[in-house]
Each structure stands twice: as C-alpha cells, then as structure tokens.
Amino acid sequence: MKRILTYILVAAIAGAFFYTLYYLYMKNQAPEVIYNTEQAYIGSVIKKTVATGSVVPRREIAIKPVVSGIVEELFVEAGNLVNKNDLIARVKIIPNMVNLNNAENRVERAKISLSNAEIDYNRNKKLYEQKVISYAEFQPFDLMYKNAQIELEASEDNLQIIREGVSKKSKNTSNNLVKSTISGMILDVPIKVGNQVIESNTFNEGTTIASVADMGEMIFQGKIDESEVGKVKEGMQIELSIGALQDELLHATLEYISPKGVDENGAIQFEIKAMIHPEDLEKSFIRAGYSANASIVLDRRDDVLVLEERLLEYERDSAYVYVETSPQRFEKRPVILGLSDGIKAEVIEGINETDKIRGRPKAREEG
C-alpha cells in the first residue's frame, strides 16, 4: 500500500514538473505573425522636383520724380488701377538758390540787352525808312533786336522752370507732375504728402513715389538646387501651390533657367522663372509676392502597373516582393521596376494585378 502511494506521489510530482516546463515553453513562444496583403494596380507614376519661390508681376515699375522737392499732393493709393500717363503725384519744387539767383540775373541782363537793341533798332529803322542807309546796313540791328527778344523770353521761361517746374510754353509737360509710365495696378505708395523726394539722375536712382505693375501677366520666380537643375529644361509644365490659396493649383510653363548658380548657405541654387497661364489668373485674384511651391514634372508613366514602395525590399541592385502562394505562406520573387516617385513605383516585370503582396504584420499595426 505504501509502495503504491509512493508511486502515485512520484508520478504527480513528475507530471507537475513536466507541465511547468511545457507551460513555460509555450509562454515563451512568439505568437504567429499574420500579414496584411496588398495588390498592384493600374495607375500613374509622376516624378517631380520642388522649387520654392514667389509669384510676382512680370512688369513692375518704380515711378520716380524728375525733379527734387516736397510731395504736395498724391492722387493714388495702393490697389488703384491706373492708365499710362495718369497722374500719380504733384511735387512742389524747392529751387536751388544758386540756380535761382543765376536765372534772375540772366533775366535782368536779357532786359538790358533788349532795351539797348530796341534803341539801336528804332534809330536805324528811321534812317532806313528815310533811305539814308541800305537794308544791308539795317539788317544786323533788326537781327540783334529779335535775338534780344528771344533771349529775354528764354530766360524768363528758365526762371519759371526753376521756380515752378513748368514754363509758359510747356504747361502740359510740367516736371513737377509725376505720371504713370504704364497701365496697371498701384502696388505700393511708400511716401506720404510732405515727404521730400530726390530726382532720378546719373548719380542717384531717386525716390520711389509708387510701384505700378501689370497684374494680368504674372510669373513664378524661384530657385532650384544644383542636384535637380540638370533634369529640368525650358518648356516643362509646372504646378504651383500657393499657401494663401490652399484649394487651388496654378499651371505654369518654365521659360527661364539661370546659367549661373548662387551660393546660399553652402548650397548652389539656380534661379528659374515660369509664366503662369492666363486662364488661371482669371479664376482668382493673385496678389504680388505670394509664396509658392512649384512642382516640376521630370517624368511620368500613365496607365502602368503600380506598386507601393513600402511593399518592396532591396538587396544590392535588385528589388524583391513576397507573393502569397497559400494563406499566409509567401515566396520571395524578384521584380523589375521602372519609374519611381519615392512613394510608388512602376512594375515592368515580376508580378501582376492578381498577385497578393505581403505587407505589414497585423500584430504591429494593432500594437
């Protein structure tokens, strides 16, 4: 009886021991991984490069005065539409005292010369009328008198121009009236009434009174990295996304690539310009200076077999996928790829639309 109890006790202890080992073994076993599967599909692959920049008018003109003085009146403000030769401002001329003094002295000298020429003219005219002298002898006095009249008139005009910026003969072409040189929109008026302005001359670019631009012809102006500039060329189509117009895409045509790069923060950048299509400008008002990102299409494939890049695995120069042969059983299969945009790739050979490709494990997604 004691021997039977001993066997039973030993068997129970052994069973408990083996059960414990089995439990620990099963507990340490990794759970079976269940993979999601995806399939290739017919679609498009578009390879792009992105350039940053802004939208600016093709023609933006700074209107500057041709005389120095003080702004007496402004006729426009930012946002106004103007035509060519419309008034922008009136400048009150502050004459240079040296020039003013010289002009006044010239007038006085012209009056004296005219008075003297008139006396000689009248005296010799009587002699000519009395047949005392010939016309040849009278002619120099006549010419001198007429020249003296012209000199006085010219000196008076010069004095008026220095004082007021306009002469009697040219009232419609006053120097103190600043006019627009093109038709367009006033973008900015950086001065106010009472500000002093400097004329545009050889040594000074002058004070800008207003900026005028043709808003009907806008371009994208940006920069592209040297690693991408060799892939673009004039005539390529561009899609512009503007931060202020999030729901709209503008289309443009690349028309200029700078032949010289500029070093910016250690990277060589090349300036590019693209003409925005006129029909896109009609859809909404595009303000000058909007920041924009330009997507330049380098290459594209339409109606091709496309696979997500995350489903691909690479070994050296070859690409592979895992194709499901039976439920949750996969085989490694090489594929030949074409164009890739970094997110999806064109599949030339190796799989078809019906193949199920191993994706991410479900356990990882749920975890």
Q: Are 330 and 358 in contact (CB under 8 A)?
A: yes
Architecture of domain 61-213: Beta Barrel (2.40)
* Dihedral of alpha carbons 173, 178, 182, 184, sign: negative
Domain boundaries, given as residue ranges, for the chain: 35-44+303-366, 49-57+215-301, 61-213
For 49-57+215-301, CATH number?
2.40.30.170
Residue 365: its pLDDT value, please?
Answer: 43
54-104 confidence digits (pLDDT tens): 999 999 999 998 888 889 899 999 989 999 999 999 888 877 677 778 888
Question: How far apart are alpha carbons 74 and 188 in whole angstroms?
Answer: 13
Q: Which residues in the chain land under pLDDT 50? A: 364-367
Q: Which class is domain 35-44+303-366?
A: mainly beta
What is the per-residue pLDDT for 362?
Answer: 76
- 61-213 has the same fold as 49-57+215-301: no
Q: Report in angstroms the alpha-carbon separations of 150 from 139, 146, 166, 238.
A: 17, 6, 18, 65
Percent with pLDDT over 90 in the chain: 31
> pTM for the complete prediction?
0.61
Count of CB atoms situated within 10 Å of the CB of 47:
16
Please name which of 307, 300, 303, 302 lies closest in space to residue 352, comparing C-alpha atoms: 307
